[in-house]
Structure 1
Amino acid sequence: MSIFQKNIHGSSQWTDWRWQQKNAVRDEPALREICGGWDEEMSAHIEHNLKERKMQITPYYIDLIMSSLNSNQVTEHPLWRQVVPYWNDNALGDYDGTSENWELHHEMKTPICQHKYDNRVILRMTNTCNAYCQFCFEALRTLQVGTEKPNANSDSFLDSLEYIRNTPAIEEVILSGGDPLMLSDRKLEENLAALRSISDDLLIRIHSRALSFNPFRVTDELVAMLKKYKVNAFGVHVCHPLELSADFANAVARIQSVVPIVFSNMPLLRGINDNEETLHKLFIDLYRIGVKPYYLYHFMPFSPGASEYKASISHAIELMNSLKRRVSNIAMPEYVLPHAQGKFTVPLLDFEQPDELPRFEWRDGQRYYSFKNWNGQLCSWHDA
């Protein structure tokens, strides 16, 4: 039984999402005490990494970890390894602390509005999250201590509204971040009302990892808001079947009562979910609760812990080929490379075509995966 279970688990405090955020663990000594300890070398790695990046873990998520811990060390737990910066300096790989995974300068129409694909824009509503995935695709925005990335403010949001209103090609707006559910109900409603006022036909989509880290954020007020402003789709970010708790499923059901489409985006992470058994269970368990597994994202290279989390594309193709034969099609996501030039759906090839794209190539002893993106541009990915 964890320290949280002994004190307030099951109480009204426990299910108050604000209490969860207020009592999140943010330093190594407190986390080590709650988790039962680890060696001094691990402590030194975590402390060193926290000079550059944030850690924040809700009591709910710590309880998920501790209640599912088997005979292995907590430091081997797939949930613990997502939210704790446990690696040494050699694990940074391609990450240099300045490179972007996803945002190109010309795509940023305002400090928070990104227009990459023709018919939709992403609004980065906040730089904060319920807890911090240490592999975050938006590491410079969310993980970096003292980030220089602009946060959403009144001016940038109003400028974004103006851009959306005056760009007829835009059919959909995606609220992302950070996590848009970190906004207060008042602020989120204000933003949703402004977007819905543009057009009844505008598609509004929300992406959030709150259901994994703090499912109590899905309150009656939030559900009513999603219904009132006719939110069309809700994307839940999830990594591992152990995150699909009863509280997660309950939060999903509440959203499903008012939002027509609920789907999941999942990163592929080495040592966490890059095996057939784990992915099989993740896809099928999501299907069981009515969530469509949508994208399995290959880990982005410009993130902390790059060489720790980065899986092999060829191994991923093998996994997905095998799962394709064993898992219902409706439960199979697309396997995609989220490249700065635009994401690419990786074909599940049984063999390599040496003279055609996509293909694996060797350069200076390093393996690369080359492909053409949605815009016909030649792209290359340094494979693990």
Structure 2
Amino acid sequence: MTSAEILTTEGELVRAGSEPESVSWQQAMRRAIRSSLHLREQLGLSTSTESIPGISLAEADFPTFVPLEFLARMRPGDPCDPLLVQVLAAPEENREVAGFTSDPVGDGPARIAAGLLQKYHGRALAMPTGVCGVHCRYCFRRQFDYSDTADSTDPATDNMRPAWEPMIERLRESPEIDEVILSGGDPLTLSDGKLDRLLTAIESVPHVRRLRVHSRMPIVIPQRVTTELTTRLRSSRLTAWMVVHCNHPQEIDTAVELAVGRLVDAGIPVLNQAVLLAGVNDDAEVLESLCRRWVDLRVQPYYLHQLDRVAGAAHFEVPLQRGRELIAALRDRLPGYAVPTYVTEVADAAAKVPNGF
């Protein structure tokens, strides 16, 4: 094995900078890396014994999960690779830092039914699953209790309907809600069959008009954007939007370009939201490149989020003033439609809070 190759969990060689052999998205989920030490080994990085206890403690709190499709875009031998930094468990996660909590955005108090949150007027956020296609170490829901999500009901029979019923019933009782946001977890980790049944249930609520799908899957496992998925979203009576999550231009390879293109070509508007992360994208050139890549692909840069202050993620935080400076630099370099809105999510606020100048 050369330094430009990665040995996968199934003994498959993957050349760095290229995608592994194409498999179904379900197979991609099954063969994902599940250990930070293994991840470091495959990238030719040090696995010093003194760091193992801290890494193990971090992984006990929030397990590692990295698809090979994402791994293949990382630079072997580079511990500061911006994709690796997002997913590599680190001892710093174990530090207690004032102001960093288990629920920084107030998800708990916003729960109005099993698997359903409402924070903002006219919108409800449904969490049909707690499963994700990648575990990002800065995730604000890394300590969220997903025990009442719909996908936890009966995996043996693929039957989610009993767990849907309280959520759908609450939507029926709330005529002010005209938009449902599918989040999680990641809703695109549901099979096309489950997703179809979920959409059918939401479509049965007459006052719901729009559907927003928030997903990292088109980025980390782009083959998830199947013909069945795009056809179902296009045929919905709801106006469907896709919001992807991508933080660095290195995440966008040919497979991602094609996946996003399939969505846009199907008439589904695609937005991107990113999180401002120290050591990943706290640089004007990086953010400019990210925004340019997206608008070239017909994707709207939507939000740049200030880090949600979840316990275990303090080492990712960028000072607010630095974020403002970066947005000012983007405004100087890009057309207005290519500049994301820099926001903070504040618990109990009526909307995302813009981080003005």
Relative to the length of structure 1, the TM-score reads: 0.81
Superposed displacement of residue 8, structure 1? 7.0
| 1:134-182 Cα distance to aligned partner (Å, 9 max, x none) | 10021113xxxxx564322444421111111221111100000010011
Instruction: Identify which of 122, 129, 134 aligns with 1:119.
Output: 122
Aligned to 1:110: 113
Q: Are residue 88 (structure 1) and residue 97 (structure 2) matched? A: no
Q: Identify if the C-alpha distance between structure 1 residues 274 and 11 changes in structure 2 by more than 3 Å, giving closer, same or farther.
A: closer
Q: Are residue 129 (structure 1) and residue 132 (structure 2) matched? A: yes
After TM superposition, the structure 1 = structure 2 runs for residues 1-384 of structure 1, keeping only pairs within 5 Å, are: 1-4=5-8, 7=13, 14-40=22-48, 41-66=50-75, 69=76, 73-88=77-92, 91-94=95-98, 99-141=102-144, 147=145, 149-152=147-150, 153=153, 154-199=161-206, 202-229=209-236, 230-306=238-314, 308-342=315-349, 343-347=352-356, 349=357
Identity of aligned residues (%): 27
Superposed displacement of residue 330, structure 1? 0.7
Letter in 1 for 2:56: E
CA distance in 2, matches of 1:205, 1:89: 31
| 1:35-60 Cα distance to aligned partner (Å, 9 max, x none) | 11314134443223112211100111
CA distance in 2, matches of 1:46, 1:75: 15
| 8 Å contact kept, 1:92–1:305 | no
Superposed displacement of residue 291, structure 1? 0.6
3-state SS of the aligned residue for 1:247? helix
| 8 Å contact kept, 1:127–1:177 | yes
Q: Identify if the C-alpha distance between structure 1 residues 222 and 115 changes in structure 2 by more than 3 Å, giving closer, same or farther.
A: same
| 1:337-382 Cα distance to aligned partner (Å, 9 max, x none) | 11112320111x2xxxxxxxxxxxxxxxxxxxxxxxxxxxxxxxxx
Superposed displacement of residue 228, structure 1? 2.2
| 1:281-314 Cα distance to aligned partner (Å, 9 max, x none) | 11111111011000000001124222x1011001
CA distance in 2, matches of 1:138, 1:258: 31
Letter in 2 for 1:88: E
Q: Identify if the C-alpha distance between structure 1 residues 295 and 89 changes in structure 2 by more than 3 Å, giving closer, same or farther.
A: closer
Aligned to 1:144: none
Q: Identify if the C-alpha distance between structure 1 residues 116 and 330 changes in structure 2 by more than 3 Å, giving closer, same or farther.
A: same
Q: Identify if the C-alpha distance between structure 1 residues 185 and 117 changes in structure 2 by more than 3 Å, giving closer, same or farther.
A: same
CA distance in 1, matches of 2:134, 2:283: 25
| 8 Å contact kept, 1:85–1:305 | no
| 8 Å contact kept, 1:136–1:303 | no
| 8 Å contact kept, 2:117–2:126 | yes
Q: Identify if the C-alpha distance between structure 1 residues 19 and 104 changes in structure 2 by more than 3 Å, giving closer, same or farther.
A: closer
CA distance in 2, matches of 1:281, 1:11: 21
Q: Identify if the C-alpha distance between structure 1 residues 228 and 13 changes in structure 2 by more than 3 Å, giving closer, same or farther.
A: farther
Q: Identify if the C-alpha distance between structure 1 residues 94 and 252 changes in structure 2 by more than 3 Å, giving closer, same or farther.
A: farther
CA distance in 2, matches of 1:136, 1:89: 12
Q: Identify if the C-alpha distance between structure 1 residues 264 and 284 changes in structure 2 by more than 3 Å, giving closer, same or farther.
A: same
Aligned to 1:376: none
Gap runs ≥5 in structure 1: 142-146, 350-384
Gap runs ≥5 in structure 2: 154-160
Letter in 2 for 1:340: A
State the Cα RMSD in Å: 2.3
Greater shift after overlay, 40-49 or 329-338?
Answer: 40-49
| 8 Å contact kept, 1:13–1:19 | no
Letter in 1 for 2:180: V
Superposed displacement of residue 119, structure 1? 0.7
- How many residues are treated as equivalent by the alignment? 336
| 8 Å contact kept, 2:41–2:47 | no
Relative to the length of structure 2, the TM-score reads: 0.87
CA distance in 1, matches of 2:317, 2:112: 31
Q: Identify if the C-alpha distance between structure 1 residues 296 and 118 changes in structure 2 by more than 3 Å, giving closer, same or farther.
A: same
Aligned to 1:354: none
CA distance in 1, matches of 2:107, 2:207: 30
